[in-house]
Amino acid sequence: MIIRIMGEGQYDIADVNQELLQTYDNQVEDAVDAGNEDAARNALSSLHDFIISNGAPVADDFLGSSQAVVPFVDATLEEITELLTGEGFIPDPA
């Protein structure tokens, strides 16, 4: 799966711990549901760190699409909310 982090690039997360990835994703969603902007930003920062540290950067000339989009780390609660789906940013594995 390819994830785009807005303003930072794309990362292939096929080989990362999907359960841990979902944990970070769920933390963002829970903070947004609670309306807690500080917690949402902290959770989003942790999700970013995990993706960047564990995912493989995708070449700039890659022409495929991203399966998920994660907002930039300084996003507001409103901007974060706009990109959330019913499964967070990252679809739950089937």
pLDDT digits (tens, 9 = 90+) for 53-72: 999 999 888 878 888 999 99
Q: Say whether pLDDT at 15 is over 70.
A: yes
DSSP labels, 1-50: -EEEETTTEEEE-TTS-HHHHHHHHHHHHHHHHTT-HHHHHHHHHHHHHH
Each residue of 23-46: b (16+ CB within 10 Å) or e?
A: ebbbbbbebbeeeeeebbbebbee
pTM: 0.90
Q: Give me the domain span that covers residue 27.
A: 2-83
Q: Residue 93: inside a domain, yes or no?
A: no
Interacting residues of 60 by C-beta distance below 8 A, sequence separation 6+: 9
Q: What is the pLDDT of residue 77?
A: 92
Q: Residue 88: inside a domain, yes or no?
A: no
Task: Please state the rounded mean pLDDT for residues 31-51.
Answer: 95
Q: Residue 22: inside a domain, yes or no?
A: yes
Task: Return the percentage of the chain with pLDDT > 70, whole number.
Answer: 98
* Count of the separate structural domains present in the chain: 1
